[in-house]
Structure 1
Amino acid sequence: MTFNAIVTADRLVDFLEPVSALVDECKLHLGVDGLRIAAVDPANVAMVEATLDAGGFESYESDGGVIGLNLNAFEDVLALADSGDLVHLELDEQVRKLDIRFGSVDYTQALINPQSVRQEPDLPSIDWLATAVATGKQLDQAVTAADLVDDHIQLVSDGPERALATDADGDTDDVQVEYDRDDLVSASPGDGRVSSMFSLDYVSSIVGTMDADAEVTVRLANEMPAELSWAHSEGQASATVLISPRIAGGE
């Protein structure tokens, strides 16, 4: 298995963050055309698929394969780099290690047996009833407001005037954040009210990995998982996250 690549640190971090928001380790697919990760969190609440195309690298060489990666350790190393640093990645398959080089740092990370990493999920097919494209800044405002009063957040689409809205009801206070169709990048509210309730921790963790100007597609169906997807790194990378709704009467 051959893998040798050079990429800027910020681009690599942006690719990994939606995954590390949910899991500590993953299978990293070293595809001929780029990197891909699919993972589900230990509680089976959220799943993520992230890609970084070969075109997003300064140079990229791989003949395919899968490695197991400790994300916490990898990101700790990348935290030493400046955002524009060029990170050199080279796989030594014989000793099952990944060499990570940038600036004056040369770090060799031991890899995990991919067979020991949790099985990858298949993203389900859902008949979406409403779709809205919001910015990362708008979603951050919504989850920040919800956090003032509750640990759950209801995602709602209810016609053009509430093409995308969030409701949070605490013991004494409540808060709504509402965007009409004109406030958003685009929206297809659908017919009637569409809503599901989610753990705020999960939604907030994922939204926290988005750039403020990211254009995020939010897809909803009644009492079904919500899908949040966005592109980054000048269109060379993408992330798709599905978050399961809160179980009635659960935490």
Structure 2
Amino acid sequence: MFKAVINAETLRDAIDSVSSLVDEVKFSISENGLELKAVDPANVAMVSLKIGSDAFEYFKADQGEIGVDLVRLSDVLSMADRGENVQLELDEESHKLKIGVGSLSYTLSLIDPTAIRKEPRIPDLDLPAHVTLPGGELRRAVKAAEKVSDHVILGVSDEGFYMEAKGDIDSLKLKIPSTELLGMKPGEARSLFSLDYLQDMSKSISKAGEVTLEMGIDYPLRVTFKLGQSVDINYLLAPRIEQE
């Protein structure tokens, strides 16, 4: 059984944070809420999402799994007006998800969870350097770097956080001193990343009041942030090998 009511914008923002990387996911349902882990087709980026039961106006569920096409779900959620709630109910016999948006009622066919790519094992990384900054600030920096190159260096020094992008003609440097960061754990960190992935991630990150980046030397980037009080998102992005 699964029956829930949630603010449409909350659910839409949560789904958008995942659909930027993957189209189909397997939601694990429990009395604590909804949870998923997924990896993009190129095995470059992972995402984990937790929508706690507290994020819902109403939530009642048994343990289970459902496979969802995020593109089709996003299309349905786009019909909701700002401030409107969405009703969700699982019809176990037909294996469909009933979605109510205002006076509209949709029936979304679900995917067999066993047909969806297996959930990735999120590696347990001890990344030495952490910085916390406003989500909008990171989004602005990524958009600026895109105008110069298709990849970017992210790093941490004793002075703070920095970003470097070098193109054939132009270059960009961003430095945020430690005194202007929301939080910082100094450590050696410098890695090269694809801006395509950072751009997709930063759309959701920009809605977060603060985002924490965890880095090392040529290590993956871990990005952690919350949307509201009860939606937790975690990205892991593999580094590119820096060319001499």
TM-score bin, normalised by smaller chain: over 0.9
Q: CA deviation at 1:246?
A: 1.1
State the Cα deviation string for residues 153-189 of structure 1 (Å, max 9, x = none): 11110112xx211100000110011101111111112
Match of 2:168 among 168, 171, 180: 171
Match of 1:237 among 207, 231, 235: 231
Q: 1:248 to 1:176 in 2, by over 3 A?
A: closer
Match of 2:106 in 1: 107
State the Cα deviation string for residues 21-57 of structure 1 (Å, max 9, x = none): 1000100111111010110000000000001110110
> Counterpart of 1:130 in structure 2: which amino acid?
A
Match of 1:185 among 169, 182, 185: 182
Match of 1:42 in 2: 41
State the Cα deviation string for residues 92-132 of structure 1 (Å, max 9, x = none): 01111000001111000000000010110121111211100
Q: 1:213 to 1:50 in 2, by over 3 A?
A: closer
Match of 1:224 in 2: 219
Match of 1:202 among 197, 200, 203: 197
Q: CA deviation at 1:247?
A: 3.5
Q: CA deviation at 1:210?
A: 2.2
Match of 2:209 in 1: 214
Match of 1:69 in 2: 68
Checking the alignment, whether the CA contact within 8 Å between 2:7 and 2:83 is kept in structure 1 is yes
State the Cα deviation string for residues 187-215 of structure 1 (Å, max 9, x = none): 1122xx41010100001110111244521
Distance 1:19 1:212 in 2: 14
Checking the alignment, whether the CA contact within 8 Å between 2:23 and 2:70 is kept in structure 1 is yes
TM-score calculated relative to the size of structure 1: 0.94
Q: 1:154 to 1:127 in 2, by over 3 A?
A: same
> Counterpart of 2:235 in structure 1: which amino acid?
V
2:204 aligned counterpart, secondary structure: coil
Checking the alignment, whether the CA contact within 8 Å between 2:26 and 2:68 is kept in structure 1 is yes
Match of 2:9 in 1: 10
Q: CA deviation at 1:135?
A: 0.8
Checking the alignment, whether the CA contact within 8 Å between 1:145 and 1:177 is kept in structure 2 is no
- Runs of 4+ in structure 1 over 6 Å off: none
Q: CA deviation at 1:248?
A: 4.6
Distance 2:179 2:208 in 1: 17
Q: 1:149 to 1:18 in 2, by over 3 A?
A: same
Does 1:156 find its partner at 2:151? no
TM-score calculated relative to the size of structure 2: 0.97
Distance 1:247 1:66 in 2: 37
Distance 1:183 1:200 in 2: 24
Checking the alignment, whether the CA contact within 8 Å between 1:135 and 1:212 is kept in structure 2 is no
2:205 aligned counterpart, secondary structure: coil
Distance 1:15 1:64 in 2: 21
1:82 aligned counterpart, secondary structure: coil
Distance 2:241 2:116 in 1: 27
1:99 aligned counterpart, secondary structure: strand
User: Paired residues, what number?
Assistant: 243
Match of 2:145 in 1: 146
Distance 1:65 1:92 in 2: 13
> Counterpart of 1:201 in structure 2: which amino acid?
D
Match of 1:53 in 2: 52
> Counterpart of 2:191 in structure 1: which amino acid?
S
Distance 2:71 2:56 in 1: 22
